[in-house]
Amino acid sequence: MRRAVFLDRDGVINRALERGGKPYPPTSLAEFEILPGVPEACAELKQAGFLLIVATNQPDVGRGTLKQEVVEALHAHLRSVLPVDRIEVCYHPGRGASDCDCRKPRPGMLLRAARELGVDLAQSWMVGDRWRDIDCGHAAGCRTVFIDHGYAEALRQPPDHRVENFAAAAKLILDASRTSAV
């Protein structure tokens, strides 16, 4: 079985656009800015043997306010600059999607990727910047790391760890994996 780091996209990998204390996804390639330290942190995690799997809710597509082609273009760019192994996307809009198992906080995206890639969820991590990410990671059986940007929303359950950015999350994960390998 393999180990993975599941990453939320907006606010973890790329800068989220903030309005009224809440994060929003970029709507064009011009707005899609990889955060400082992310490429290096991803390279270190890959070198340590982790799969990197992006798990992102993109409900604006389901709501009709963003074209799926834009999201796919952003992901093509992301793949060209970061060593991600897979990108899981939920396009469901949220409300009224009660039959959807993939929209975080539900763990469907993580469970599907784990099943198809042979991932041991108990040896894996979910890194996110919102309560949905942390709840999703817990529901899947992963350890969780919360990147605290000070958004105007509360967590529903505590993360295993809290850090300021993805570089710090990667260091924490790498340190923990070295400790458990001894």
Which residues are annotated as catalytic?
Answer: 8, 10
SS3 label, residue 59: helix
Q: Which two tokens stand for residue 43?
A: 């390279």
Bridge-partner residues for 147, per DSSP?
163
β-pairing, 22-24 with 17-19? Answer: antiparallel
**Burial readout 58-95 (b: 16 or more C-beta within 10 A, e: otherwise):** bbbbbeeebeeebbeebbeebeeebebbbbbbbbbbee
How many residues are there in the chain? 182
Closest CA to 110 of 84, 136, 135, 130: 136
Closest CA to 6 of 95, 137, 104: 137
